[in-house]
Amino acid sequence: MAYDSKVIQRAAQRLAERRLAKTRQLEQARDRAYAKEPRLAALDRKLRSTMAQLMTSALRDGEDSANAVQTIRAHNLSLQRERTLLLESIGLPGDALDGKPDCPLCQDSGWTGTHMCSCLQKLCAEEQIKELSKLLDLGEQSFDTFRLDYYSREPWRGGGTSPRENMELVYEVCLNYAQKFDRFPLKNLFLSGPPGLGKTFLSACIARTVSENGRSVVYDTALNVFAQFEARKFLRDSKDGDEGRDETRRYLRCDLLILDDLGSELTTQFTQSALYELMNSRLVSGRHTVISSNLSLEEAARRYSPPIASRLEGEYHILRFFGDDIRLLKKSRM
């Protein structure tokens, strides 16, 4: 999974702060225990000494070395038993001062070899959700809080499927897409329809679920995305250019990109080129993309180049949104 480096850095910093806090707590616990039973401090010094002797003896060859190792081990076990009894005598468990890691898999390092441990993945997911919340209202937006009662059961425009029936299908597709992210047959979605019908809400639901399941998610508006591509190209030797390179790298490499409000940008030859690079690169690498737009597929095909239109039509599953504007309905019910 391709978490953004900044997300990993923040998560790793939190893990380091936890380790430091735990070390301090352990030192304070030792100080209190030593104050109650001074013999514990002497025992701990002897145990550290026997461990050093054990390592030295183990590196030697011969029968004498083997006998020395056995003698040191026996002495070490005797010291540990005495230490356990002393700790219990002052009301502490025998391992109270041993400093066991919270995560036995990685010893609180965050990594098992070259692989990120699940404990660090969890922190990365939390940091990612914080970042997504800056752009998306993730406070109450989840599949559990999505309300279908705002969509009419009456046939739309005098015939055909009702908005309610349509949204039940759209909801199920989005839910399964998010929950079965790696197993779902659809990799790319195009959410199409007028504003106020739940496209951004369902995008946020997808972002939350996929992120909570440990995958990297980037959400941004089309305006911001194309601005970063522009900075990468035209402001190369500047701070904005560096930021543009970092941001476009995130767009291209994350597990899930949610591109919101496509069509709100001024469509130029450059934005068409950037959109093609974004879509094609992610398709070639097999990464998932969700695009939301007020444009219909037909309008998008007329607005963008044939290669872009071809990829939208051939590689994206179209989810159409229609019905009455939910924002207006909410106002009328207040």
Q: Is 303 exposed, middle or buried (0-12, 13-18, 19+ CB in 10 A)?
A: middle
Sequence length of the chain is 334
The answer to whether 322 and 166 are in contact (CB under 8 A) is yes
pLDDT digits over 279-306, tens only? 999 999 999 999 999 999 999 999 999 9
Helix axes 39-58, 5-36, angle to 10 degrees: 120
pLDDT digits over 147-204, tens only? 898 898 988 876 788 999 999 999 999 999 999 999 999 999 999 999 889 998 899 8
Pick from 216, 234, 330, 218: which is nearest to 273 by CA?
A: 234
Helices (H), 180-238: 199-212, 222-234
Name 102's Cβ contacts closer than 8 Å, sequence gap at least 6: 18, 22, 108, 119
pTM: 0.74
- d(CA 274, CA 252) in angstroms, rounded, equals 11
- Could you tell me where the beta strands, DSSP code E, fall in the chain? 111-112, 115-116, 188-192, 217-221, 256-262, 288-293, 317-320
Domain 135-333: give its CATH architecture. 3-Layer(aba) Sandwich (3.40)
Q: According to CATH, where is 3.40.50.300 located in the chain? A: 135-333
Give pLDDT tens digits along the chain (334 positions).
Answer: 567 778 888 889 999 998 899 889 989 988 998 898 888 888 888 888 887 776 676 666 555 667 777 888 888 888 888 888 988 899 988 888 887 888 888 888 888 888 888 888 888 888 888 777 766 665 667 788 888 988 989 888 767 889 999 999 999 999 999 999 999 999 999 999 998 899 988 998 999 899 888 888 998 899 999 999 988 887 777 777 777 788 888 899 999 999 999 999 888 999 999 999 999 999 999 999 999 999 999 999 999 999 999 999 999 999 999 988 887 777 766 5
